[in-house]
Structure 1
Amino acid sequence: MITCSACGYDQNPDGAEFCDACGSELQEVATTVIPSSQAPTVIQPQTPPPPPQIPQPSYSNPIPITPSFSTSTATTARLIAKQPSSPTPEFFLDSNAIVGIFDPDMGPVDIDLESFSGGDTVSRNHAEVYQEAGVWKIKDLGSTNGIFIKPAGQTRFAARITLPETLNSGDEIAFGKVRFLFQSP
């Protein structure tokens, strides 16, 4: 079994490329045969440093101060339309968002691309853009015309995504034929 380095799930079958639990790419650990004359070196994981100590005031009855650490890693991001004269020049993302087109039976979506040029290539529930552990990701929700990502600095779009993909600032995303630039701090 392969253990996922992203989420720790340890039930992924040998030879799997992606984690069954979180969809992250799995890294197979290569095993090396060590001659019996050499003892293996055990590498201990490093422990994180203790939290900083906050000096106490020198009052006769000091008040204890407990440091507060935020575990929130949420950040905002933007989808900036690549088409000139777009009906909406950009969308702000601060939480999960469903990208698609309005359907009277299914209701509204968070980012409606129906009025965009090429909007006829966007499915009702086309994609979900979301954060996972402070990292922005995108996944296809069974769209007809797919999602394509052109990583920042590349000249071509990669193949249609089939599993959740990490988004990096500067990546270009195509929902069918509607294209956006993804930006995050």
Structure 2
Amino acid sequence: MIVCPNCTHQNPDGAVQCEACYTPLPATMGCPNCGSTVQVDASFCGQCGFNLSAIGTQAASSAVQPPPPVPVSSPSGVPSLIPPDPLVPPDPIVGVPPVPNSIAASAAPSPDVPVPPPPVPVTKQPVAPSEGGAAPAQPRAAGPSTQLQQAKVQLLHVQTNTPVELPQSLSVIHIGKPNDRIPPDVDVSGFPDSEIVSRIHADIRVEGDSFYIEDVGSSNGTYINNAPLPMGNRHRLRHGDRVALGKGDKVTFLFQLS
């Protein structure tokens, strides 16, 4: 059975979308190392820690490369092109004949007629504001562009009221305790009752502006709003969701967006 990450409806194996809310269901596969059910896009197996991304790398390297294109040779027997005729330079421009003296004399101004002086350029002076009136509006200088602030995402530890900010540079955020295989991005070893949390417990995946959480094979399970999250399924986190790592609601976080 595949549990819908949106409404927790149980769907039959092989289903593509949820029968209740029509949400696309995550595709799963078997781990080639231990046979546990994991998602197709998972990087590591939550049960045995097997590196699943190495399978895609080997498959990509073994893909058959397409054959290089065969050069097409020009057919023989094609006659060579006839070179074009050389360009003929244009004829030189003949000079303009001089203007007769009679026409030039008639066009010249008479000495008895006064010539008006050239116009004096007028410079606009700034207009002073009238008494009791407002000054003319001046163009406002363009200021620096406003920078968009990124949304702050954090997990608030309920038992100690301690916020844990999630890193914004990662697409997969590992939650657990220090280990030799997958170091956690969110270390919960310093919180009370952290012994119920597995070293490799859960992952939060970032896809655009959405956040999904999935259990990667923990010993005591992961609970979303007091409901168990089956291993291999994922749940889309919303502001205020309650995430409990392990049974008994002893290590609990609230997912917050601000």
TM-score, length of structure 1 as denominator length:
0.54
Alignment partner of 2:223: what SS?
strand
Counterpart code for 1:161: P
Residue deviations 1:75-121, cap 9 Å, x none? 5410011013x6xx121112331110112x23631111112112001
Identity of aligned residues (%): 30
Alignment partner of 1:91: what SS?
strand
87, 97, 100: which one pairs with 2:176?
A: 100
131, 154, 166: which one pairs with 1:78?
A: 154
Distance 1:106 1:78 in 2: 25
- Quickly say closer, same or farther: Cα 1:114–1:14, change in 2 above 3 A: closer
Query: In structure 2, what is the equivalent of residue 160 of structure 1?
Result: 229
Runs of 4+ in 1 over 4 A off after TM superposition: 12-17
- Quickly say closer, same or farther: Cα 1:158–1:119, change in 2 above 3 A: same
Aligned partners of 1:129 and 1:137 also within 8 Å: yes
Counterpart code for 2:196: T
202, 216, 240: which one pairs with 1:141?
A: 216
Query: In structure 2, what is the equivalent of residue 131 of structure 1?
Result: 206
Residue deviations 1:122-178, cap 9 Å, x none? 11111111211321110111111111011xxxxxx1123330110000011001131
Counterpart code for 1:78: Q
The count of aligned residue pairs is 114
Unaligned runs of 5+ in 2: 1-12, 19-24, 29-38, 41-149
1:174 aligns with 2:237: no
Distance 2:198 2:176 in 1: 6
Alignment partner of 2:184: what SS?
coil
Distance 2:190 2:163 in 1: 14
Deviation at 1:14, TM superposition (A): 5.5
Distance 2:207 2:16 in 1: 25
Alignment partner of 2:227: what SS?
coil
Q: Cα RMSD between the aligned structures?
A: 2.7
Structure with the greater alpha carbon radius of gyration: 2
Unaligned runs of 5+ in 1: 1-11, 24-73, 151-156
